[in-house]
């Protein structure tokens, strides 16, 4: 295999640009790699050239899995930055292998029976090497996706207080919510019983509603109902001469906002759960 391997590797290195151009022409129009169609030709060609120039190092090493890591990680990171879907990045690798072998066949570098047997052995070695690369590219994509998702969810998690170190402090959320509800009750009593008006202080009620939805599953709805009932009961007790219409609308809006936030957070939690299963 050493002799034939040297022959095909020499062919790949000395004709890297020619093979890469043939590959680029294929991948930039192939139906399974649409994300490559609008990429600059030179940028695409460079991907294959880099592989063919690393081919010797990965082919002859006793530890091809370790040797392939340098290429695999950079390939995955570059394709991820270019927003190439994983399945297309992997299929592009398949085409890189195919075009290398097609070019070798076209050049008829294996003719004798012995060379053909060596060619089969080298093909098995090449397939194994590409299997390692595909595995490592997939692994790196998942790592990059994990970082990206965590970053995008970072703002939400900062409000949900789910960062490391908060696991044993659930009482903090409960205490904050209790204080906010007490404050809402005091504020409602002051404006209704003392001032005698239904001013727009109720906009502050959205804060506990939003936080409850972020912190607990159904609490946003329950807090919405509690604040709506508080508002209507206070109105009935202290604002006899003021129409109910505005506060009924406000209470109804509390319930709508709480329900929408509950559905939204439930969807986010389900997506996060599915994502964690995929990256385990």
pLDDT reported for residue 2: 44
pLDDT reported for residue 3: 44
pLDDT reported for residue 158: 64
Helix-helix angle 41-60:2-14, to 10 degrees:
160
SS (H, E, C) 178-189: HHHHHHHHHHHH
d(CA 24, CA 92): 9
* pLDDT tens digits along 22-76: 999 999 999 999 999 999 999 999 999 988 888 777 777 778 888 888 889 999 9
* pLDDT tens digits along 88-133: 999 999 999 888 878 776 565 444 444 555 555 566 777 788 889 9
Which long-range contacts does 154-157 make (Cβ < 8 Å, 24+ apart)?
156/214, 156/268
d(CA 270, CA 280): 16
* pLDDT tens digits along 161-183: 555 555 556 777 888 889 999 99
Tell me the pTM: 0.64
Degrees to nearest 5, angle at CA 219 with 228 and 266: 125
């Amino acid at each position: 295999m050493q002799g034939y391997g040297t022959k095909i590797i020499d062919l790949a290195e000395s004709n890297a640009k020619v093979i890469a151009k043939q590959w680029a022409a294929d991948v930039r129009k192939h139906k399974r790699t649409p994300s490559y169609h609008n990429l600059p030709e030179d940028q695409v060609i460079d991907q294959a050239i880099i592989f063919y120039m690393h081919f010797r190092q990965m082919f002859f090493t006793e530890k091809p899995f370790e040797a392939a890591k340098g290429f695999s990680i950079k390939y995955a990171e570059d394709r991820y930055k270019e927003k190439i879907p994983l399945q297309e990045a992997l299929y592009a690798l398949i085409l890189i292998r195919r075009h290398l072998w097609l070019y070798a066949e076209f050049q008829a570098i294996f003719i004798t029976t012995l060379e053909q047997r060596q060619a089969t052995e080298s093909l098995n070695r090449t397939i194994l090497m590409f299997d390692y690369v595909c595995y490592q590219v997939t692994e790196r994509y998942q790592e990059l996706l994990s970082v990206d998702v965590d970053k995008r969810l970072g703002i939400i998690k900062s409000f949900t207080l789910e960062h490391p170190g908060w696991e044993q402090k659930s009482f903090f959320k409960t205490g904050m919510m209790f204080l906010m509800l007490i404050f809402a009750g005091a504020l409602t009593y002051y404006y209704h019983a003392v001032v005698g008006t239904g001013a727009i202080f109720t906009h502050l009620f959205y804060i506990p509603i939003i936080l409850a939805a972020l912190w607990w599953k159904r609490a946003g709805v329950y807090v919405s109902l509690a604040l709506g009932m508080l508002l209507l009961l206070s109105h009935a007790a202290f604002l006899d001469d003021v129409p109910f219409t505005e506060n009924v609308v406000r209470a109804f809006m509390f319930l709508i906002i709480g329900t929408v936030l509950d559905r939204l957070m439930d969807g986010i939690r389900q997506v996060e759960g599915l994502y964690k299963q995929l990256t385990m």
